[in-house]
Amino acid sequence: MFDGFKLETIELSNATLRVRHAGFGPAVMLLHGHPRTHATWHKVAPLLSSSFTVVCPDLRGFGMSSKPADTPDHSGSSKRAKALDCIELMRHLGHETFAIAGHDRGAYTAFRAAMDHPNVITKLAVLDTVPILEALERCNEKFARSWWHWFFFGELEKPERAILGDPDAWYRNTPAKKEMMGLEAYEDYHRAVHDPATVHGMIEDYRAGLGIDREHDAEDRQSGKKITCPTLVLWSLRDDLEDLYGDVLKVWRPWTTDLRGYGINSGHHMAEEAPEELAQALKQFLSN
């Protein structure tokens, strides 16, 4: 897994991140979603590393990266805080500017990095998501039935107790999932979802989403702030983004100045289910 990549644990100002990196050329950071670790990219990253310097961290709160201290506003798990981690990590590795791609919850951190640091982020790719504010404002019965866990995860203590009672049942861990992910990536993910501190860190990401992250999005929209770099939106045709929102690009258009995107024939975890198609899409976007 990640043949030729260097694995490090890097201490930053407010977090310690586990990261793999390798490659040559312009830098791109790949951010995982819930409940994965950076290992979700192990099929995609090597396909990009011949043309790009690829950096794959565990986000703070996830995997083997550090867990932020709890606060009433969950600010340590905010996407703004995580975006700052990304900027600092890349500077530590020698990259003053870089492209960023994120899947699922990682897409929110990538989005926030592009919004908050327009002079640093050269290109943005978001996978299988719409902005948090859009998702919450468009919430209807269909969303509530499919994405009820967003609101359950907003409760204190109860989600952790439910998940840790039987993590394998909660996350539907099966031999088929292990085969699809690959043994090493599955073992990394499996260790994460069985670790109480990591489960808490992952759930805090959702609590921040319902509060402080939503506030940051609302402030940006009110001020008219938009993403200024080229933006690629990709979504899984066998997931529910089109069912929920219809024209996905229409949802993103008010937030961007240079937008393109399309669906990929995959389930939700496209980096694991359709790595070649995803890598090709990212490579084409990052090269132009």
> Is 258 one of the catalytic residues?
no
- Which of the following is catalytic: 32, 74, 95, 104? 104
Confidence band (pLDDT; 50, 70, 90) for 135? very high
Q: For residue 148, what pLDDT band results from cuts at 50, 70 and 90?
A: very high
Assess if residue 178 is contained within a domain: yes
pLDDT tens digits along 151-161:
999 999 999 99
Asked whether residue 54 is assigned to any structural domain, the reply reads yes
Determine the average pLDDT of the residues in 91-110: 98
What is the CATH number for 133?
Answer: 3.40.50.1820
105 burial via Cβ count (<10 Å: 0-12, 13-18, 19+): buried
pLDDT at 11 over 90: yes
What percentage of the chain exceeds 70 in pLDDT?
100
Is 63 domain-assigned? yes
User: For the chain, what is the domain count?
Assistant: 1
CA separation for the pair 57, 55 (Å, rounded): 7
Q: Is residue 75 part of a domain?
A: yes
Of 92, 117, 194, 268, catalytic: 268
Mean pLDDT value of segment 214-236: 98
Average pLDDT of span 79-105 = 98
pLDDT tier at 207 (50, 70, 90 boundaries)? very high
Q: How confident is the model at residue 162, as a pLDDT?
A: 98
Rounded mean pLDDT of the chain? 97
The pLDDT assigned to 114 comes to: 98
Percentage, residues of the chain above pLDDT 90: 99
Rounded mean pLDDT, 102-118:
98
pTM (2 d.p.): 0.98
For the segment 245-258, the average pLDDT, to the nearest whole number, is 98
Q: Kindly state whether residue 103 falls inside one of the protein's structural domains.
A: yes
Domain-located, residue 269: yes
Q: Domain of 171?
A: 6-287
Supply the pLDDT for residue 122: 98
Q: Is 104 a catalytic residue?
A: yes
* Nearest Cα residue to 31 out of 104, 93, 123: 104
Mean pLDDT along residues 24-50: 97
Cα Rg of the chain (Å, integer): 17
Residue 184 in this model has a pLDDT that exceeds 90: yes
Q: Note whether residue 1 is domain-resident.
A: no
**Residue 187: is its pLDDT beyond 90?**
yes
Q: Which residues contact 58 (CB under 8 A, 6 or more apart)?
A: 17, 18, 19, 32, 37, 38, 64, 65
Three-state DSSP string of the chain: CCCCCEEEEEECCCCEEEEEEEECCCEEEEECCCCCCHHHHCCCHHHHCCCCEEEEECCCCCCCCCCCCCCCCCHHHCHHHHHHHHHHHHHHCCCCCEEEEEECHHHHHHHHHHHHCCCCEEEEEEECCCCHHHHHHCCCHHHHHHCCHHHHCCCCCHHHHHHHHCHHHHCCCCHHHHHHHCHHHHHHHHHHHCCHHHHHHHHHHHHHHHHHHHHHHHHHHHHCCCECCCEEEEEECCCCHHHHHCCHHHHHHHHECCEEEEEECCCCCHHHHCHHHHHHHHHHHHHC
Please tell me the predicted confidence (pLDDT) of residue 288: 86
